[in-house]
Structure 1
Amino acid sequence: MTFAADAVNGENGLPRPKDNLFPKISGKHEDFLSQLQKLKYEGKLPSTLEVEGTVKLHGMHADIVYDLHDEFADEAAMTKSILFQSRNRICAADENQQGWPRDIAQFPDALNYLKKRVLTRFEERNPDKVINKAFPLIIAGEWIGGRVQRGVGLAELSNRFVILSIQVNGIWQKDEDFADIEAEKAAIYSVFRARQMKLKFDTSNITADHPILFEMQRLADEVEKACPFAAAFGIKNSRGEGVVWKPGVPEARADAKYWLKTKGPICGKENRIDPVRIAADAARNLTIGDAATRWVTSRRIEQGFEYLLEMDIDPNKQTSIKEYINWVVNDVLVEEHNGIARYKNQFANAEQAVKKKVGYLARNAFLEQMKECGADLA
């Protein structure tokens, strides 16, 4: 039985696919500050914390997952132990989501080379640790180029897989340790083709008006104006997306709940670290209905349709509206959980009210899109 089948069935001791999937990264600086505060209370933050930023790429999330059980398998068996994932599901090796994973699956020698490079580097950087083969090796990345996403600089590049984060022993590793590892034969590159950004965060002042937060936002705005990763391949002054920030202490690097993504203004103003907007929102004292309306952003509406495409769900079928609404509602519940929690302090059925409002807005967005496309859902 192959690794993919085992993973689907949850057998052989490996985590189920949902446990291998890349975690969501908060786009809310309030979540980021809250997690830093917890680390501070636990005595795990230095007085000056280095915050590390890498370019956020506008494409389709994708992962290469390796089963490490068969250390002495031959090349053919090793290839069977490679699993390909998109954001929400396992993909067949010959599948074609704008080229993923078909385009790289045809280079098994390069994929096995990549695995060996990563594990060797891990052993070099961690001589006191043993690789635990009960955990898979996860190389998380972004599939970019061509028609994956339109209107961005990356669309001018040929299709390629860009390594963003690497997990060994169930822990996300320090990015810099693996920055030079690529497999160009299979069009696999490192996000470090663009420089890493580093800022000094004074942890005596973990508050919403911390000046470094505004600098993080400024840098994200600059990335949106001109994508540094695209520039590394000769595509100058083309639109990017933003930055992913990780606190530079081992515990925070290892767990995505401590990370923060910041995006430029084109992606929406909802989560921008903008002191004027933050003050205005506080003064307005938004109702839960206002908040739910704000959470159903144009990008979230778009992502709902991307989810249907990823899961091979035909939006023209009447049953697809339920799938769409469920995705939008669940995404809001996950990403806006702290905001919802604040309303729970005011009344007990806050979550139900959010579900109802978001579901209503998602339904309208779906029907509007289908109407524009001329779809008949009868």
Structure 2
Amino acid sequence: MSSSINRQNGEAGQNGNLFPKISGKHQDFLASLQKLKSEGKLPPILDLEGTTKLHGMHADIVYDLHEPLTDSAASKQPILFQSRNRICEPDENQQGWPRDVAQFPDALIYLQTRILARFAEKNPDKTVNRAFPLIVAGEWIGGRVQRDVGLAQLSNRFVILSIQINGLWQKDEDYGDIEAARAGIYSVFRAQQTKLKFDTSNITDANPALFEMQRLADTVELSCPFAAAFGVQNSRGEGVVWKPGVPSARADAKYWLKTKGPIFGKENRIDPAKIKADTARNLTIGDAATRWVTPRRVEQGFEYLNEMNVDPNRQTCIKEFINWVVNDVMVEEARDIAVFKTRFTGAEQTVKRKVGCLAKCAFLLKMRECGADLA
């Protein structure tokens, strides 16, 4: 395994190759579109490209391209495996990741070769800048990775979601047929991509395309199209990830949006009544903090502890859990927190304190339910 892949990005805990968060708030999405429009980068009618959002564990395969691909032993090729927050050893077993994929080095080299060949085919006027890694971003699904979804009925597998070359996320459909099924590596394009038209003269909450995006996410939650492609019918899915169909926005995840169904994403639903109520409602910071520390966010906090190999029975892990929840809120709810900062002195610290208190209570409750002794 090569260490050069992090030469520009710092050590593993601060790895700049880690996949960015995708906003689940349509208001953030509208603001990003408005920015692009002001820069003259949006057509009158914008294509939105939607792929099935998979409920599993985020995972990446990262190739160091500093040295050209050779015929040397595949096991010596500089390949890294990542989870959401850290670099993993190849023999680690997070519900099978990355151990189950790392044991197929020839397939991994085949995947790299196919992707770079496709890039050259689609971009004859461009070259690969080997100062940047090739990132194959995906989701590790199946088995016990997540509960109560159709994907749990499939065997463990890595599903390719996005590909980054030269530091830019590529057009998904250009690579949609590239897989290495022998190694359990599949494309999210086993489920059909969805495309919508968005009228950029109306970048507001009232744009009908937003409600169609929500409707389609609800449909996916009712029946996961990716699971259906493998014979698992009428099983629960999660939602859709949307990318604007212009290069500058497709290449940068800050312009993307994830929409979920009523079970997995009720707090961010694109619903006319909810939008009207939220606009009229004068929330306090305490009200907002209660809405933000959701059962799913608490669950994700424990998933983080597990990913980072932190023993939740260790007394000091409560601090790590609280820090994760607070940091996640500060990033995901930044738009609303900015509004509070214009209204109240010391709003940011108040948000952190209230969210931290709620996170602590949620942690202790979970530990009591599990019968843990933190004394």
> In which range does the TM-score fall when normalised by the shorter chain?
over 0.9
2:188 corresponds to which residue? 191
Select the residue among 197, 214, 217 that pairs with 1:217. Answer: 214
Contact 2:60 2:135 survives alignment (8 Å): yes
Q: CA RMSD in A?
A: 1.2
Paired with 1:110 and 1:14, the residues of 2 have a C-alpha distance of 27
Paired with 1:169 and 1:16, the residues of 2 have a C-alpha distance of 21
Select the residue among 131, 135, 138 that pairs with 1:138. Answer: 135
1:376 corresponds to which residue? 373
Q: How many angstroms does 1:182 deviate by?
A: 0.2
Paired with 2:146 and 2:96, the residues of 1 have a C-alpha distance of 13
Q: Indicate yes or no: 2:170 matched with 1:176.
A: no
SS at match of 1:181: coil
Paired with 1:186 and 1:269, the residues of 2 have a C-alpha distance of 36
1:201 corresponds to which residue? 198
Contact 2:141 2:157 survives alignment (8 Å): yes
Q: How many angstroms does 1:77 deviate by?
A: 6.0
Matched residues, number: 373
Select the residue among 144, 154, 159 that pairs with 1:162. Answer: 159
Q: Spell out, residue by residue over 1:278-314, the C-alpha distance to the aligned partner (whole angstroms, 9 max, x if none).
A: 1112222111111111011110000000000000000
Taking the TM superposition and a 5 Å limit, the aligned residue runs for 1:295-374 are 295-374=292-371
Q: How many angstroms does 1:268 deviate by?
A: 3.9
Q: Indicate yes or no: 2:78 matched with 1:81.
A: yes
Q: What letter is aligned with 2:145? A: V
Contact 1:58 1:144 survives alignment (8 Å): yes
Q: How many angstroms does 1:6 deviate by?
A: 3.7
Distance 1:288 1:72, change over 3 A: closer
Paired with 1:265 and 1:134, the residues of 2 have a C-alpha distance of 42
Distance 1:204 1:99, change over 3 A: same
Q: How many angstroms does 1:75 deviate by?
A: 3.3
Paired with 1:74 and 1:219, the residues of 2 have a C-alpha distance of 45
Q: How many angstroms does 1:78 deviate by?
A: 6.1
Q: Indicate yes or no: 2:118 matched with 1:121.
A: yes
Q: Between the two proteins, what is the percent identity of the paired residues?
A: 74
Select the residue among 100, 105, 110 that pairs with 1:108. Answer: 105
Q: What letter is aligned with 1:31? A: D
Paired with 1:79 and 1:149, the residues of 2 have a C-alpha distance of 33
Q: What letter is aligned with 1:211? A: P
2:30 corresponds to which residue? 33
SS at match of 2:330: helix
Gap runs ≥5 in structure 1: none
Distance 1:72 1:98, change over 3 A: closer
SS at match of 2:48: strand
Paired with 2:264 and 2:9, the residues of 1 have a C-alpha distance of 37
Q: What letter is aligned with 2:370? A: C
Paired with 2:155 and 2:221, the residues of 1 have a C-alpha distance of 20
Q: What letter is aligned with 1:126? A: N
Paired with 1:64 and 1:334, the residues of 2 have a C-alpha distance of 25
Paired with 1:56 and 1:250, the residues of 2 have a C-alpha distance of 21
Q: Spell out, residue by residue over 1:316-348, the C-alpha distance to the aligned partner (whole angstroms, 9 max, x if none).
A: 000000000000000000111111001111123
Contact 1:67 1:137 survives alignment (8 Å): yes
Paired with 1:14 and 1:363, the residues of 2 have a C-alpha distance of 32
1:227 corresponds to which residue? 224
Paired with 1:42 and 1:281, the residues of 2 have a C-alpha distance of 29
Q: Spell out, residue by residue over 1:206-240, the C-alpha distance to the aligned partner (whole angstroms, 9 max, x if none).
A: 00111100000000000000000000000000000
Distance 1:306 1:14, change over 3 A: closer
Paired with 1:98 and 1:175, the residues of 2 have a C-alpha distance of 27
Contact 1:14 1:135 survives alignment (8 Å): no
Q: 4+ runs of 1 displaced by more than 6 Å?
A: none
Paired with 1:255 and 1:6, the residues of 2 have a C-alpha distance of 24
Gap runs ≥5 in structure 2: none
Q: How many angstroms does 1:14 deviate by?
A: 5.9
Contact 1:79 1:112 survives alignment (8 Å): no
Q: What letter is aligned with 2:89? A: A
Name the TM-score, length of structure 1 as normaliser: 0.97
Contact 1:227 1:240 survives alignment (8 Å): yes
Paired with 1:33 and 1:160, the residues of 2 have a C-alpha distance of 34
SS at match of 1:134: coil
Q: What letter is aligned with 1:282? A: T
1:52 corresponds to which residue? 49
Select the residue among 233, 236, 254 that pairs with 1:239. Answer: 236
Paired with 1:317 and 1:275, the residues of 2 have a C-alpha distance of 45
Distance 1:181 1:79, change over 3 A: farther
SS at match of 1:324: helix
Contact 1:308 1:315 survives alignment (8 Å): yes
